Structure 1
Amino acid sequence: MTIEKALAKCDEINPNTVDEVTKIKWLSQLDGLIKSETFDHYERNDADADISDFCGYDENNARSTALLVPFPYDDIYVNYLVAQVYLFMGENTKYNNYAAIYESEKDTYERYYARTHKPKEPHKFTWY
């Protein structure tokens, strides 16, 4: 999924007045979390995109920039954005519903990733 598609799907589900820059910041934060909490703990496969230079997104990124989580798990972005918009608008019940969907999708993706990637070796300390 691209930045543009995530933004469009979010706005289709929940028309809102949250500016695009804020939503891109939320996508950047989400991919930063996914990178640090999931990708950085596993060795990369040959088929994986190189994310070593990932440093987030901002309003200067092309809207065609691909986000880090691939299909069929990429609805995580839409549900995260919709939840954040509802939180921003003070719609707590709707926020809780979409946040639960997002958490479930994130857990599913993390389990898939753990099954298909070898964990990195932990750092070993040498005592002198």
Structure 2
Amino acid sequence: MTVGEAMERAEELRPGSRVAARTRQRWLCEVDGMLREKFFRPSSADSREGVGADIAWDNGLRDDDVLLVPPPFDSLYPHYLCAMTDAALGENDRYAGEQAQYNSILAELAAWLRRKNLPARGCSWRW
């Protein structure tokens, strides 16, 4: 999924969002950085090197930049953006629902990474 696709899907779910596009792009950068450190770097899942909003941010994030999480787990991005938007606007019930969907997809991603990639030497998975 690209930055533009994630933002477009989030906009479909939350039309007329009062959160600036640059803020939503920054959220994508932050979540990709967190996912890289917690899930991708500890494993041997280095096939995702060179992609991600956290890497592209320094060169100016564009709509066609590819995000870190591969399909089918990339559907977590629109839910994350909606959750962050809802939190910023004080929509607590909507935030809780979107965050639950994001967490569910994130748990599936973590399980998939554990099955497909052995931890790097000197590193252990803790769940």
Q: TM-score range by the shorter chain?
A: 0.7 to 0.9
Conserved in 2, the CA contact under 8 Å of 1:29 and 1:56? Answer: no
CA deviation string 1:7-39 (max 9, x = no partner): 010011011111110000000010001000011
Counterpart in the other structure of 1:122: 122
Please show how residues 68-87 of structure 1 align to structure 2 within 5 Å.
68-87=68-87
The total of aligned residue pairs comes to 121
Work out whether residues 24 and 59 of structure 1, in 8 Å CA contact, stay in contact via their aligned partners in 2.
Answer: no
TM-score computed with the length of structure 2 as normaliser:
0.87
C-alpha distance in 1 between matches for 2:58 and 2:25: 6
The C-alpha deviation readout for 1:96-124, integer Å capped at 9, x for no partner, is 0100110111011011011100111117x
Rg larger in 1 or in 2? 1
TM-score, scaled to structure 1: 0.86
Using the TM superposition, give the Cα deviation of residue 57 of structure 1 relative to its aligned residue in structure 2, in angstroms: 2.4
Gaps of 5+ in 2: none
Structure with greater helix percent: 2
Distance in 2 between residues matched to 1:112 and 1:86, nearest whole Å: 28
Higher normalized contact order (CA 8 Å, seq sep 6+, divided by chain length): 1
Contact 1:3 1:66 in 2 (8 A): yes
Return 5+ residue gaps in structure 1 as ranges: 124-128
